Protein backbone atom coordinates (compact mmCIF):
# COMPACT_ATOMS: atom_id res chain seq x y z
CA UNK A 1 0.00 0.00 0.00
CA UNK A 2 1.33 3.45 -0.92
CA UNK A 3 1.90 5.79 2.01
CA UNK A 4 -0.86 8.32 2.58
CA UNK A 5 0.11 11.81 1.50
CA UNK A 6 0.56 14.27 4.34
CA UNK A 7 -1.20 16.98 2.35
CA UNK A 8 -4.31 14.83 1.92
CA UNK A 9 -4.33 14.04 5.63
CA UNK A 10 -3.97 17.68 6.67
CA UNK A 11 -6.64 18.89 4.25
CA UNK A 12 -9.08 16.26 5.51
CA UNK A 13 -8.19 16.91 9.16
CA UNK A 14 -8.10 20.73 9.16
CA UNK A 15 -9.93 22.30 6.20
CA UNK A 16 -10.67 25.49 8.16
CA UNK A 17 -7.01 25.95 9.05
CA UNK A 18 -6.07 25.51 5.38
CA UNK A 19 -8.60 28.12 4.30
CA UNK A 20 -7.45 30.52 7.00
CA UNK A 21 -3.79 30.09 6.06
CA UNK A 22 -4.32 30.48 2.32
CA UNK A 23 -6.91 33.28 2.31
CA UNK A 24 -5.24 35.74 4.64
CA UNK A 25 -5.66 39.46 3.84
CA UNK A 26 -1.86 39.89 3.74
CA UNK A 27 -1.62 37.24 1.02
CA UNK A 28 -4.46 38.86 -0.91
CA UNK A 29 -2.69 42.24 -0.84
CA UNK A 30 0.62 40.69 -1.85
CA UNK A 31 -1.02 38.71 -4.66
CA UNK A 32 -2.63 41.83 -6.11
CA UNK A 33 0.49 44.04 -5.72
CA UNK A 34 -1.33 46.21 -3.18
CA UNK A 35 0.86 45.36 -0.20
CA UNK A 36 2.72 48.46 1.01
CA UNK A 37 6.36 48.37 -0.06
CA UNK A 38 7.51 48.78 3.54
CA UNK A 39 5.54 45.67 4.58
CA UNK A 40 7.01 43.59 1.76
CA UNK A 41 10.53 44.76 2.55
CA UNK A 42 10.06 43.97 6.25
CA UNK A 43 8.71 40.51 5.45
CA UNK A 44 11.54 39.68 3.03
CA UNK A 45 14.28 40.80 5.42
CA UNK A 46 12.74 39.00 8.40
CA UNK A 47 12.09 35.80 6.46
CA UNK A 48 15.70 35.91 5.27
CA UNK A 49 16.86 36.11 8.91
CA UNK A 50 14.49 33.27 9.81
CA UNK A 51 16.08 31.10 7.11
CA UNK A 52 19.48 31.45 8.74
CA UNK A 53 18.15 29.61 11.80
CA UNK A 54 16.18 27.09 9.74
CA UNK A 55 19.25 25.88 7.81
CA UNK A 56 21.25 24.74 10.87
CA UNK A 57 18.07 23.30 12.37
CA UNK A 58 17.50 21.09 9.32
CA UNK A 59 21.20 20.17 9.31
CA UNK A 60 20.95 19.16 12.96
CA UNK A 61 17.86 17.10 12.26
CA UNK A 62 19.60 15.36 9.36
CA UNK A 63 22.61 14.59 11.57
CA UNK A 64 20.28 12.87 14.06
CA UNK A 65 18.62 10.67 11.44
CA UNK A 66 19.59 7.00 11.43
CA UNK A 67 20.21 6.32 7.78
CA UNK A 68 20.56 2.63 6.93
CA UNK A 69 22.88 1.48 4.18
CA UNK A 70 20.06 -0.63 2.70
CA UNK A 71 16.40 -0.10 1.81
CA UNK A 72 17.10 3.20 0.10
CA UNK A 73 13.71 3.25 -1.62
CA UNK A 74 11.46 1.85 1.10
CA UNK A 75 12.72 2.62 4.58
CA UNK A 76 11.14 5.30 6.72
CA UNK A 77 14.61 6.45 7.77
CA UNK A 78 15.57 7.22 4.19
CA UNK A 79 12.26 8.98 3.54
CA UNK A 80 12.88 11.15 6.60
CA UNK A 81 16.45 11.90 5.47
CA UNK A 82 15.22 12.76 1.97
CA UNK A 83 12.67 15.14 3.49
CA UNK A 84 15.43 16.96 5.44
CA UNK A 85 17.72 17.07 2.39
CA UNK A 86 14.93 18.43 0.19
CA UNK A 87 14.06 21.02 2.84
CA UNK A 88 17.67 22.25 2.83
CA UNK A 89 17.80 22.39 -0.96
CA UNK A 90 14.50 24.25 -1.20
CA UNK A 91 15.26 26.77 1.53
CA UNK A 92 18.61 27.56 -0.08
CA UNK A 93 16.79 28.31 -3.35
CA UNK A 94 14.26 30.45 -1.44
CA UNK A 95 17.08 32.37 0.23
CA UNK A 96 18.60 33.14 -3.17
CA UNK A 97 15.25 34.33 -4.48
CA UNK A 98 14.72 36.61 -1.47
CA UNK A 99 18.18 38.11 -1.85
CA UNK A 100 17.69 38.64 -5.60
CA UNK A 101 14.35 40.41 -5.03
CA UNK A 102 15.82 42.53 -2.24
CA UNK A 103 18.75 43.60 -4.41
CA UNK A 104 16.79 44.17 -7.63
CA UNK A 105 13.72 45.89 -6.21
CA UNK A 106 14.93 47.50 -3.00
CA UNK A 107 18.62 48.23 -3.61
CA UNK A 108 19.39 46.03 -0.62
CA UNK A 109 22.92 45.35 0.53
CA UNK A 110 23.61 42.45 2.86
CA UNK A 111 23.94 43.16 6.56
CA UNK A 112 22.41 45.48 9.08
CA UNK A 113 19.04 43.79 9.57
CA UNK A 114 17.91 43.09 13.11
CA UNK A 115 15.48 40.32 13.94
CA UNK A 116 12.12 41.40 15.33
CA UNK A 117 10.93 39.74 18.53
CA UNK A 118 8.75 37.43 16.41
CA UNK A 119 11.66 36.38 14.20
CA UNK A 120 13.86 35.98 17.28
CA UNK A 121 11.23 33.66 18.77
CA UNK A 122 11.44 31.44 15.66
CA UNK A 123 15.24 31.50 15.82
CA UNK A 124 15.14 30.47 19.48
CA UNK A 125 12.61 27.72 18.76
CA UNK A 126 14.80 26.22 16.03
CA UNK A 127 17.93 26.48 18.19
CA UNK A 128 16.18 24.67 21.03
CA UNK A 129 14.51 22.02 18.87
CA UNK A 130 17.75 21.27 17.05
CA UNK A 131 19.89 21.09 20.19
CA UNK A 132 22.01 17.94 20.59
CA UNK A 133 19.95 16.71 23.55
CA UNK A 134 16.70 16.82 21.54
CA UNK A 135 15.55 13.82 19.56
CA UNK A 136 13.91 13.87 16.16
pLDDT digits (tens, 9 = 90+) for 37-51: 999 999 999 999 999
Angle made by CA atoms 86, 59, 45, in degrees to the nearest 5: 80
pLDDT by residue (tens digit) across 101-118? 999 999 999 888 999 999
CB 80 within 8 A of CB 61: no
Angle made by CA atoms 91, 97, 103, in degrees to the nearest 5: 135
pLDDT the model gives residue 55: 95
Angle made by CA atoms 66, 67, 73, in degrees to the nearest 5: 135
pLDDT the model gives residue 41: 93
- Cα–Cα nearest to 132, from 61, 50, 54: 61
pLDDT the model gives residue 91: 96
**More confident position, 101 or 77:** 101
3 pLDDT higher than 80 = no
pLDDT the model gives residue 50: 94
pLDDT the model gives residue 79: 86
Dihedral of alpha carbons 104, 108, 111, 114, sign = negative
In this prediction the pTM is 0.77
Distance CA 51, CA 60 (A): 14
CB 11 within 8 A of CB 55: no
Share of the chain above pLDDT 70, in %: 98
Amino acid sequence: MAPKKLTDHLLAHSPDAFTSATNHPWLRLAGTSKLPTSALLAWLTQDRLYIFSYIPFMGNMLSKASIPSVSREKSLEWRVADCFINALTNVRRELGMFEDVLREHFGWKEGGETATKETRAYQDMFAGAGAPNQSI
